[in-house]
Structure 1
Amino acid sequence: MAARVLALSGIPWHHELVWESLVWGAVAASSLLLGTLLAIARRWPPRLLGVVLGFGAGALIASVSLDLVAGGYQEAGALAVAAGLSLGALAYYGANRAVDRWTARSGGNAAGAPLALGALLDGIPEQAVLGIGLAAGGGVSVALLVAIFVSNLPESIGSSADMLAAGRRRNRVIGLWMLVTAVCAAATVAGFAVADVIGAAAQAGVNGFAAGALLVMLTNSMIPEAREKAGNLSGLAAVVGFAVAAALMLLD
């Protein structure tokens, strides 16, 4: 994906900033694979897993409200963000229904799949924002980088733990998250490559798309699962996650 975009944009693959964007993209996305390894390394009690998911939900809510939606609005106004929100929400909803139908036909279950799908659908545009910022000459946003890293962990831990509990083989779970990690890292390079050829409205739409996919995933999967596993404690964990992510973004 990234190589094709680079070719279309006319940017040589050996350009210094191309490699820099790839490195930063890999750093941000690496927490997806780290979360998988943490889920494999130990058995996560349901209550602890619910707290982790609640923390991640709070961090993602902060990312949606303070970074993706607010940043898109400042970039191009409400209309572009609203269009992106709608497309992102519909994309996640449609993809999740497809996953549910596939698992039903195969006689399995969708354990962990909604969180993995959410990580992919929000991770691609979210990390593209990193590349766009780098191409604009402002350098990488440390706050966004850390917020992506922190919020990715609960998604991958929760999804991987559910998959393993459902009997999925470890190598398949690792392989899935390696693929998601690689695609998200490549999205940073793609964002860098297209930054000069897309307008402010399209960039705001990218922000909105990530926010829309996140909001549907949070409402349908992450928050209900956190509540089911940790009860009322999940709400407190969400507030802590929101506070940590918000502090990181507001300090940038």
Structure 2
Amino acid sequence: MDWTTVFKAGLWGWLAASSLLIGALIGFYWRLPRKLVATVMAYGSGVLIAALCFEQIPEAQRLGGLWPTLSGLLIGGSVFVLADEYLDHLELHHRSRLPGKGSMVGLLIAAGAFLDGIPESLGLGLGLLGGGNISAVMLVAIFLANLPEGLASAAGLKGEGRSAGYVFTLWGVIVLLSGIAAMVGPALMAEVSPMWLSFALGFSAGAVLCMLVDTLIPEAFAETHALTGLITLSGFMTAFALSHLL
């Protein structure tokens, strides 16, 4: 195991996830227009889609071929959807039992953010295996996608009466865990066959794609409506250009 690579993956993972904390800081102390937050969501979604299409998924296919990649995509997407549905069920159950109370909502938000961050951070860390480099496009995409999530949730937690200490400790822990998730790939998969690396990258990509379609893009559409497609397209085009220039 190359510990230098493992720690390097952690540092990149923490950098990508740091936008959660930046977003939480902005959301707690400033009230930004909802359309601006939604615009960042849509733009970040486009960047992330391009990063998956042009970098992560092709790399998975290069390593292990078509079927391990497709299997990873399907299982990763299915795991995310099932976990997300379970969290939604917990939140609805909590609200029905304790209407107006927020004692469990913060933990649910944290769980949801980490659920999003696991596949993103895993895919980022796996890029360092075999002497590879971190994908700059993937890094920017994750950073942009995390920013509105931290922003919107911190504003919601403040509305529930949570203190600054509670909010920033919560999101600080999530950033820490995201960095650890990025370290998992190089730490546990350095010696495995290319087929399993292909599956792992596919798993990450499938989960992230489902997260975008189920969460980020619908939330953006609720505010930006017909412009959502164009904003997402602009993010996609930006990442496409960067993937050819960097």
TM range (shorter): 0.7 to 0.9
The 1:246/1:131 distance shift into structure 2, 3 A limit, reads same
- What stretches of structure 2 of length at least 5 have no aligned partner? 96-100
Give the drift of 1:185: 0.6
* Pairing 1:41–2:41 present: no
Give the drift of 1:226: 0.9
**Candidates 106, 109, 115, aligned match of 2:94:** 106
Partner of 1:139: 133
- The two structures, once aligned, show a CA RMSD in angstroms of 2.8
Q: What secondary structure, in the 3-state scheme, does the structure 2 residue paired with 1:140 have?
A: coil
Alignment of 1:1-252 (within 5 A): 15-107=3-95, 119-164=113-158, 170-252=164-246
Could you list the per-position Cα deviations for residues 116-139 of structure 1 after superposition, in whole angstroms to 9, with x for gaps in the alignment? 656533432332333333341133
CA contact (8 A) 1:114 1:217 kept: no
Give the drift of 1:158: 3.8
Q: What secondary structure, in the 3-state scheme, does the structure 1 residue paired with 2:59 have?
A: helix
Alignment partners' CA distance in 2, 1:114 and 1:57: 22
Alignment partners' CA distance in 2, 1:167 and 1:231: 31
Could you list the per-position Cα deviations for residues 10-59 of structure 1 after superposition, in whole angstroms to 9, with x for gaps in the alignment? x6xxx444433332222222122212212223112222222121112212
Q: What secondary structure, in the 3-state scheme, does the structure 1 residue paired with 2:131 have?
A: coil
Size of the aligned set, in residue pairs, is 240
Give the drift of 1:234: 2.2
Identity of aligned residues (%): 35
Alignment partners' CA distance in 2, 1:112 and 1:224: 21
Alignment partners' CA distance in 1, 2:127 and 2:117: 16
Give the drift of 1:88: 1.5
Give the drift of 1:152: 2.4
The 1:204/1:228 distance shift into structure 2, 3 A limit, reads same
Could you list the per-position Cα deviations for residues 131-165 of structure 1 after superposition, in whole angstroms to 9, with x for gaps in the alignment? 33334113333333233223322333344445545
Q: What secondary structure, in the 3-state scheme, does the structure 2 residue paired with 1:232 have?
A: helix
CA contact (8 A) 1:33 1:174 kept: yes
TM-score, normalization: structure 2? Answer: 0.82
Give the drift of 1:115: 8.0
Give the drift of 1:75: 1.8
Counterpart AA for 1:56: G
Alignment partners' CA distance in 1, 2:60 and 2:159: 39
Counterpart AA for 1:139: N
- What stretches of structure 1 of length at least 5 have no aligned partner? 1-8
TM-score, normalization: structure 1? Answer: 0.80
Could you list the per-position Cα deviations for residues 55-76 of structure 1 after superposition, in whole angstroms to 9, with x for gaps in the alignment? 1221222122222222212221
